[in-house]
Structure 1
Amino acid sequence: MGIRDEDLMQLCAAPMHGVATVTALDAATLTVQTAQGALPARRAASCLMVPQVGDRVWLAGDLAHGLYVTAVLERAAAAGCELRLPPDSVMSVPAGTLTVQAPALRVVAREAVGTFGRMKLVGDLMESFFDKVSQFARWSQRVVDGPDQVRSQHIDWRADRTLQLQAEHLVANGSRLVKADGEQIHLG
């Protein structure tokens, strides 16, 4: 090995850090333009913001073991950003409050599970569309200030003890049959 080769080997093991620009990317690696030319790099585990072509990034590492993009410093376009976490990640705030604030929030998942000691939703409009809904509660109360409508093919309400319908005006219509059955029936 000549003197020049030894100098090159030392250069490969020398730590590098500085600003670079992302010029290309694929699934696993990025190409960054540095003062030393175009070099391959990988996104560091601590770099949650996914780099895009044209981003100015902070680079650290060495040529022998690899270069890593540790942070996105500046985005060339006024585009949004993607935060990417590794599989089975946890976002934890041991004390205090975690607030996510935005004009619009969209959550997309194949399955979602939430466990809450207490949950409160406040809003102007709530719409939900499901193929099947199952709810279980020890106690339930609902107050509606205005119309409350249910439309269904069949409605089956059952109470083990008492079912009470109370109103100033109660109207029951059956186009074919109205049936009342009981040991005693009181009208009036």
Structure 2
Amino acid sequence: MSDFTPVFATRNASWPPKRHEARSSVRKSRQRSPQITGHIAEDDNGRHYLSSHATLPLMIATSCLVKPQNGDLVCAVLHQHQIFVTAILQRQHSDAALVLSSGTVPMHLSTPALEIHSSERVEIHTSRFSLRAKTSLWISRTLHQVADALFVRAKHAHRQVENTDEVQARHISQQAEQSLIINSRIGSLNASAVLKIDGGQVHMG
């Protein structure tokens, strides 16, 4: 009896936890938020809602970065009397722009390498733009810079122009603390009103 009793107790002791786990799993499955599908609609006030649940507020899940548009077929979760869009299954217009939106929180991308390829154009609209890099390379056939004020500060500057370097301004002022050297095979200096040359020593010829 001493050898038989522990075996009998061990076999029967495993059954209540299994029944309890089964009841717990059933209870959890019933408490899961149901998944629903439907189309995004918009009322006269610009409020978006799910066509199958028009009275419930519509929210965008944090993991759904693609912003749904009117008429899109989406997958959503019903939780605490709110609709959370989790994924976009089909776009109403296949050629509609793909909009990534993180709401009111910042979006950060962390990767060892990032490439953006666009056959037509790349546009960035922002109130402030900053670029910090050890090495920056710009290659373009035509480069236009338009600004109210342009400030460039560098320890060393080198510019090489193959053909013509033309500067147009109302006033041009250049200051050199040590020396100013201008070399040319043919030189011309014209002034329609007054031409003044002043120096401690002036050497001509």
Deviations 1:134-187 (A, max 9, x none): 111111000011111111111111111111111111100011122222222222
Tell me the residue number matched to 2:135.
118
Per the TM alignment, residue 92 of structure 1 is displaced from its structure 2 partner at its CA by 2.1
User: Is the 1:29–1:43 Cα contact (8 Å) retained in structure 2?
Assistant: no
Tell me the residue number matched to 1:20.
38
Choose 1 or 2 for highest CA Rg: 2
- Aligned-CA RMSD value: 2.4
Q: 2-side partners of 1:105 and 1:165: how far apart?
A: 41
Instruction: Percent identity, please.
Output: 22
Q: 1-side partners of 2:34 and 2:167: how far apart?
A: 68
Normalising by structure 1, we get a TM-score of: 0.81
Tell me the residue number matched to 1:49.
66
The correspondence for 2:104, drawn from 87, 101, 126, is: 87
Q: 1-side partners of 2:82 and 2:178: how far apart?
A: 73
Paired letter, 1:67: I
Residues matched between the structures, number: 173
Paired letter, 2:41: T
Structure number having the greater strand percentage:
1
Normalising by structure 2, we get a TM-score of: 0.75
User: Is the 1:44–1:69 Cα contact (8 Å) retained in structure 2?
Assistant: yes
Q: 1-side partners of 2:50 and 2:55: how far apart?
A: 5
Tell me the residue number matched to 1:8.
none
Question: Closer, same or farther in 2 for the Cα pair 1:60/1:148, shift >3 Å?
Answer: same
Higher relative contact order structure (alpha carbons within 8 Å, sequence separation ≥ 6): 1
The correspondence for 1:169, drawn from 181, 186, 192, is: 186
User: Is the 2:36–2:78 Cα contact (8 Å) retained in structure 1?
Assistant: no
User: Is the 2:75–2:89 Cα contact (8 Å) retained in structure 1?
Assistant: yes
Unaligned 5+ runs, structure 2: 1-29
Alignment pair present for 1:74 and 2:107: no
Deviations 1:17-75 (A, max 9, x none): 143211226999632234xx65633111111111111101111233x352210111211
The alignment partner of 2:40 has SS state of strand
Alignment pair present for 1:134 and 2:151: yes
The alignment partner of 2:152 has SS state of coil
The alignment partner of 1:60 has SS state of strand
Unaligned 5+ runs, structure 1: 1-11
Query: More displaced, 129-138 or 17-26?
Result: 17-26
Tell me the residue number matched to 1:107.
124
